[in-house]
A and B are shown apart, each in its own frame.
Chain A
Amino acid sequence: MNDQTLFSIFFSAMVVNNFTLALFLGLCPFMGVSARVETALRMGLANIFVLTLTSLAAWFLNTYVLENAPYLRIISFIIVVASLVQIVEMVVKKIAPVLFRQLGIFLPLMTTNCAIFGLAIFQTNRGYDFMQGIVFAIGAGLGLTLALVLMASIRETSELSDIPAIAKGTGLTLIIAGSLSLAFMGFAGLL
């Protein structure tokens, strides 16, 4: 059991321990789909949705199924995440085909998105209950979206600026991420 208040869990997951900038979770989409603000925003929203579902599923598994078999945790979590992503993929393809094309490979890749799997593991390690888990998931999802959108807007702007040829691409993206992460450290004293 964990006795943190809901607000501190939410706030900590969103900015202080931002999944992308402080814990390095979900870096693949962070590098991959952060070229356009609009796509980044949609990816973030899709992430919030999957994260919340994962949190629900992980809580359910922990409480009712895995009580006596903690060693099966990693295997059962990954199956749950994989099936959830599959379902979300089918739903998105059906109701928002444009979004489906924009997200491309990064939607199925959510299975191997550390953020989603990491959420299930962190939630378990910290012993969050049902409500705490949901709040944690939404906070983490909003944090991911925030990081993605910030990154995308900086990259959109930097496309027009004069950058040395060797610095273009991943190197620059990483340095920008580093500076963003530094900025987010400023939130550390808040909690």
Chain B
Amino acid sequence: MRTTTPAEDFVRGIWKENPVLIQMLGLCPALAVTNTLKNALAMSAATFFVLTCSSVLISSVKSLIPKEVRISSYILVIATFVTLADMLLQAYAPVQHKELGAFIALIVVNCMILGRQEAFSSRNTVYRSLLDAIGVGIGFTIALVMMGGFREILGIGTLFDIPLFGPNFEPWVVMVLPAGGFLMLGFIILGLGVFEQRKKSREAAAA
């Protein structure tokens, strides 16, 4: 069944079916480690790596995996790559590794990654799965960078540790606390809702 073109596979995950903002998958890392932009980027990079590698590997061996144990097999593949990502981060970015802590290991249980394997890589060619994984990975990165950027700017008044507002800025401390994660994602989603509604009413007016 070939209903989409490769270009569509790639673009789809970036915005229209954005894993975090539209499909609400992978919320745990999107909320937990996005208190600064740096942490958000490190998390996105690790997730991107795991997602792309698992998608490529699973789509290339999909005919060898028995249907009954496919979920367990996907989880095992994902867990292997997460272990790799964990070790790589520990070796090359020890500061970030310490900041993210247990949340690196928790990439294993990111529903977004398992979801892509079940919904896409297990029935499509390696090339298309790669495109799909990169698209979804970019979408995930966009969402995390939005969260991390806004929360760091409002909560600490800096971006990439560079102060933005001068000494008189009173930081909104709540934004870097857990509650701020929920509130920020809630406001982003409400904002998108307003945007969508405007678009719909404009289309209705045009038609």
Contact = CB atoms under 8 A, between A and B. Distances in A.
Interface of A: 21-25, 27-28, 31, 71-75, 78-79, 82, 109, 111-114, 117-118, 121-122, 125, 165-167, 170-175, 177-179, 181-182, 185
A125 B177 CA distance: 22
B94 interface: no
B114 interface: yes
18 contacts: A23-B32, A24-B27, A24-B28, A24-B32, A27-B27, A73-B105, A75-B83, A78-B109, A117-B105, A117-B109, A118-B109, A121-B102, A121-B105, A122-B102, A166-B193, A178-B179, A178-B180, A185-B178
B193 A171 contact: yes
A114 B83 contact: no
Nearest to B86: A74
B28 A114 contact: yes
A23 B83 contact: no
B82 A175 contact: no
Contacts of B87: 71
Interface of A is mostly: helix
Given A25-B28, A174-B185, A185-B177, A78 B190 contact: no
Interface stretch (B51-59, B72-80, B130-138, B156-164): B72-80
A114 B106 contact: yes
A182 B27 contact: no
Contacts, number: 113
A181 B185 CA distance: 14
A24 B181 contact: yes
Contacts of A82: 71-72, 75
Nearest to B101: A125
Nearest to B189: A171
Given A174-B189, A178-B179, A181-B179, A24 B31 contact: yes
A78 B75 contact: yes
A136 to B, nearest CB: 14
A121 B109 CA distance: 12
Interface string B11-50: 0000000000000100110011000000000000000000
A74 B79 contact: yes
Contacts of A167: 190, 193
A111 B111 CA distance: 10
B190 A112 contact: no
Nearest to A17: B178
B189 A182 contact: no
A96 B192 CA distance: 41
A71 B82 CA distance: 11
Contact of B111 (A28, A73, A182, A185): A28
A170 B179 CA distance: 16
A72 B114 CA distance: 20
A75 B111 contact: no
A179 B190 CA distance: 16
B75 A166 contact: no
B189 A170 contact: yes
